């Protein structure tokens, strides 16, 4: 039997900045969980820390696109930080370079 893949979401809010540290996989099973877990009320800057994300499926990309549109609509910004080289190549391929922080 295959082990169940999960996503862990740790959120920290301060002064209009929401940092979401993710770990695990963003796949068709876990992406809806991420979308439901985040409340953008009062958030001006949304940061996803992807240091411990092992793999991102297309459904995960869709969630980031959703949050990018939501933040843009409210005049806020979104950043993806600590993106692995492998996941960065996926973001580059689909045109997400503008939200990946290379620092």
Residue 26: CB atoms within 10 Å: 27
Q: Which two tokens stand for residue 9?
A: 């979401």
Summarize pLDDT for 58-97 with one digit per residue, the tens: 899 999 999 999 999 999 999 999 988 888 888 888 877 7
Domain with 101, as residue range(s), is 46-103
Rounded Cα distance, 9 and 36, in Å: 11
Q: Which two tokens stand for residue 35?
A: 């979308």
Query: Pick the residue with more confidence: 5 or 59?
Result: 59
Percent of the chain with pLDDT over 90: 65
- Whether 67 maps to a domain, the answer reads yes
What is the domain-level CATH number for residue 56? 3.30.750.24
- Whether 71 maps to a domain, the answer reads yes
What 3-state DSSP class applies to 63?
A: helix
Determine the pLDDT at residue 73.
Answer: 96
Domain count, the chain: 1
Rounded Cα distance, 22 and 7, in Å: 7
Determine the pLDDT at residue 55.
Answer: 86
């Amino acid at each position: 039997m295959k082990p169940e893949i999960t996503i862990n979401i740790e959120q920290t809010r301060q002064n209009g900045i929401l940092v979401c540290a993710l770990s695990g996989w963003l796949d068709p099973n876990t992406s809806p969980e991420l979308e439901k877990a985040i409340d953008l009320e009062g958030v001006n800057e949304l940061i996803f820390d992807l240091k411990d994300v092992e793999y991102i499926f297309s459904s995960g990309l869709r969630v980031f696109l959703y949050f990018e549109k939501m933040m843009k609509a409210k005049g806020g910004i979104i950043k993806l930080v600590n993106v692995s080289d492998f996941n960065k190549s996926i973001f580059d391929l689909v045109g997400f370079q503008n939200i990946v922080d290379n620092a």
